[in-house]
């Protein structure tokens, strides 16, 4: 199947229509559904796109079979406990994996290698 550009909504499964038929914020500032806008293949995010979570957190980057995979930047929502935090770098199977940079809400930066969402400290010989 060939890829196309479009919009998808969902949490565990993707649809071309948001839950309840409308995509808008409620009085607490949350969206009615997660939203993906970008390249689509086989009814899932595939290629480059932007994913907005219900709380407003965003991921801008690459997707493979509906999952964050490749290079991308995730920015946490201002509605959450870590407003202003972001991770920019490599992703595998929806997790920080490879070279990346985490910036916390205070502006402090941790940069280096990540494995399965965990920052890996390097010893002098290059091994953990």
| 127 in a structural domain | no
Question: Is there a contact between 58 and 78 (Cβ–Cβ < 8 Å)?
Answer: no
Question: Is there a contact between 79 and 71 (Cβ–Cβ < 8 Å)?
Answer: no
| Model pLDDT, residue 116 | 93
Is 80 exceeded by the pLDDT of residue 6? yes
Other residues' Cβ atoms within 10 Å of the Cβ of residue 66: 21
| 125 in a structural domain | no
| 28 in a structural domain | yes
Q: What is the pLDDT of residues 50-105, one digit of tens each?
A: 999 999 999 999 999 999 999 999 999 988 777 789 999 999 999 999 999 999 88
Is 70 exceeded by the pLDDT of residue 126? no
| 52 in a structural domain | yes
| 51 in a structural domain | yes
Choose between 17 and 47: higher pLDDT. Answer: 47
Q: Which residues contact 32 (CB under 8 A, 6 or more apart)?
A: 18, 19, 20, 22, 23, 24, 25, 26, 54
Question: Is there a contact between 120 and 113 (Cβ–Cβ < 8 Å)?
Answer: yes
- Residue-number span of the structural domain to which 102 is assigned: 4-115
| 32 in a structural domain | yes
CATH of the domain at 94: 2.20.110
- Total structural domains within the chain: 1
| 123 in a structural domain | no
- pTM here is 0.87
| 121 in a structural domain | no
């Amino acid at each position: 199947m060939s890829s196309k550009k479009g919009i998808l909504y969902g949490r565990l499964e993707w649809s071309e229509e948001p839950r309840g038929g409308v995509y808008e914020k409620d009085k607490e500032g949350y969206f009615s559904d997660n939203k993906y806008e970008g390249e689509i293949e086989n009814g899932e995010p595939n290629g480059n796109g932007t994913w907005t979570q219900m709380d407003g957190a965003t991921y801008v980057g690459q997707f493979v079979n509906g999952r964050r995979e490749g290079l991308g930047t995730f920015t946490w929502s201002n509605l959450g406990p870590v407003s202003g935090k972001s991770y920019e770098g490599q992703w595998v199977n929806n997790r920080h994996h490879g070279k990346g940079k985490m910036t916390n809400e205070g502006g402090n930066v941790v940069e280096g290698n990540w494995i399965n969402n965990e920052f890996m400290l390097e010893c002098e010989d290059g091994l953990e």
